[in-house]
């Protein structure tokens, strides 16, 4: 329901510049994911949007109105924290009602919204419990419920899954995706360092690096048209292979990027050849690590299982010439 615009937003803590001039537009109702390595400023950017931190300079607009100095509670936002941040001494229902209660909403209105949110997240049976009587996954659902009750224009998630174990993480991820479909007019911004979460949840991803926006686009855009070496290496699993030096010469570039699924093993006349270092069999597919004299072994994806003894010679080539060429500046070269 709200679009958010950031115009040359900067943030420094003392002498340390954390956000170094971000221009970004988050469209109304979209699911935007901020992703990047730790220290890139993604959480800080989220906290600037929430209003918990002051912007050092620049402008932030919600639906075209400048909100730079607006208090967080007046921005129409709700936030889900990494540590859940539930109030330990309040029952689940009280946790969810706290914001409305402070806003002096009527008791009937509060009850209605709390029970609606509880239904949506299937936490109704726990409404009378204290947070400490709940599991991690349930707590995170309560935290999401507390955010829903606020009926926000913008939903902010700060690494909400990183305290959960792997299985629960996948389940809760699905939960959040469903939530986005149900509340499809609410803008959601989600911070994570996990590119899989980013790829699976996002309408659009914003890759941040060192306090600056590296690239913004849909998951597939980033995957297929990374506009820098950094994005290419960050998005996709396993990591894109980077080939440099003599081995990249046939393609006339500084660095050549090839995804492992775009490589195939050939019996002869392969573009590259090397020796097998290790094979990972995952059942549905396998990853073969091949040493071709680069710093890192090149990973080649093979359908089904693969059997290569370490040390065996191997030749491989790109499929359909699907390669990414990068210049010395780390930017892609035009074809």
Site for another protein in 164-183 (CB under 8 A): none
Near another protein by CB under 8 A: residue from 37, 103, 238, 249: 103
| CA distances from residue 179 to 126, 188, 255, 285, 313 in whole angstroms, order as listed | 19, 10, 41, 32, 50
**For another protein, the closer CB: 15 or 328:** 15
Give the residue, chosen from 65, 73, 119, 218, that forms a contact with another protein under the rule CB under 8 A. Answer: 73
Q: Which of residues 28-67 bind another protein (CB under 8 A)?
A: 50-52, 54-59
Nearer to another protein, 59 or 249 (CB): 59
| Alpha-carbon distance values, 23 to 8, 74, 252, 257 (Å) | 5, 23, 34, 28
109 belongs to the binding site for another protein (CB under 8 A)? no
Q: State which H helix or E strand residue 34 sits in.
A: strand 31-35
Query: Which C-beta is closer to another protein: that of 110 or that of 222?
Result: 110
198 neighbors 4 (Cβ within 8 angstroms) = no
Exactly one of 25, 28, 81, 227 binds another protein (CB under 8 A); that residue is: 81
Which H/E stretch holds residue 116? helix 107-121
CB of 14 to another protein, least distance (A): 8
| Stretch 128-167 residues interacting with another protein (CB under 8 A) | 146, 150
Stretch that binds another protein, among 81-89, 109-117, 298-306, 322-330 (CB under 8 A): 81-89
Residue 157 Cβ vs another protein, minimum distance, rounded to whole Å = 13
50 with 240: CB under 8 angstroms?
A: no
Report if residue 107 touches another protein, rule: CB under 8 A. Answer: no
Question: By CB under 8 A, is residue 21 in contact with another protein?
Answer: yes
Structure tokens belonging to residue 273? 């050849």
Closest CA to 84 of 144, 6, 169: 144
Please identify, among the stretches 7-15, 33-41, 164-172, 241-249, the one whose residues bind another protein according to the rule CB under 8 A.
Answer: 7-15
Q: Is 87 in the site for another protein (CB under 8 A)?
A: yes
3, 68, 228, 244: which one binds another protein (CB under 8 A): 68
Residue 328 burial class via C-beta count within 10 angstroms: exposed 0-12, middle 13-18, buried 19 and up? exposed
- Residue with smaller CB distance to another protein, 55 or 323: 55
Helix axis angle for 166-182 and 136-149, nearest 10°, is 20
d(Cα 41, Cα 214) in Å, to the nearest integer? 12
Contact residues for 287 (Cβ-Cβ < 8 A; gap 6+): 238, 260, 279, 280, 299, 300, 301, 302
Distance between the two ends of the chain, CA-based, in angstroms?
Answer: 40
Nearest distance, CB of residue 67 and another protein, angstroms: 9
Nearest of 157, 145, 229, 147 to residue 198 by alpha carbon: 157
- Does residue 106 interact with another protein by CB under 8 A? no
Among 27, 28, 39, 72, binds another protein (CB under 8 A): 72
Q: Indicate which single residue of 89, 112, 322, 331 sits in contact with another protein (rule: CB under 8 A).
A: 89
Residue 39 CB, nearest distance to another protein (Å)? Answer: 17
Query: Helix count (H) and strand count (E) of the chain?
Result: 8, 18
Question: Which of 292, 290, 267 is closest to 278 using CA atoms?
Answer: 290
Binding interface with another protein (CB under 8 A): 8, 10, 12, 14-15, 21, 50-52, 54-59, 68-74, 77-79, 81-83, 85-89, 98-99, 102-103, 146, 150
């Amino acid at each position: 329901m709200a679009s958010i615009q950031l115009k040359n937003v900067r943030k420094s803590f003392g002498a340390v510049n954390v956000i170094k001039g971000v221009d970004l537009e988050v469209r109304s109702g979209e699911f935007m994911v901020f992703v990047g390595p730790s220290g890139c400023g993604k959480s800080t950017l989220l906290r600037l949007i929430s209003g918990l931190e002051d912007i050092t300079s620049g402008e932030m607009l919600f639906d075209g109105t400048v909100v730079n100095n607006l208090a967080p509670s007046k921005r129409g936002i709700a936030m889900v924290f990494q540590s859940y941040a539930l109030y330990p001494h309040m029952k689940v229902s009280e946790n969810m009602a706290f914001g409305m209660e402070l806003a002096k909403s009527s008791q009937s209105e509060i009850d209605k919204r709390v029970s609606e949110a509880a239904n949506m997240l299937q936490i109704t049976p726990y409404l009378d419990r204290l947070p400490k009587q709940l599991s991690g996954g349930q707590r995170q659902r309560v935290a999401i419920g507390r955010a829903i009750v606020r009926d926000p224009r913008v939903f902010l998630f700060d690494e909400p899954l990183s305290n959960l174990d792997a299985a629960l993480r996948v389940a809760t991820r699905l939960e959040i995706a469903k939530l986005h479909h149900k509340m499809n007019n609410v803008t959601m911004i989600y911070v994570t360092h996990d590119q899989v979460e980013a790829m699976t949840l996002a309408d659009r991803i914003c890759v941040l690096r060192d306090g600056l926006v590296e690239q913004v686009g849909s998951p597939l855009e980033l995957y297929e048209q990374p506009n820098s070496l950094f994005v290419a290496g960050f998005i996709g699993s396993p990591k894109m292979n980077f080939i440099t030096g003599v081995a990249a010469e046939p393609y006339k570039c500084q660095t050549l990027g090839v995804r492992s699924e775009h490589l195939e093993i050939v019996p002869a006349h392969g573009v590259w050849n090397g020796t097998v270092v290790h094979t990972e069999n995952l059942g549905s597919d396998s990853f073969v690590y091949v040493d071709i004299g680069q710093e890192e072994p090149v990973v080649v994806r093979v359908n089904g299982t693969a059997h290569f003894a370490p040390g065996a010679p191997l030749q491989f080539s790109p499929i359909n010439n699907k390669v990414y060429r990068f210049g010395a500046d780390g930017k892609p070269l035009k074809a």
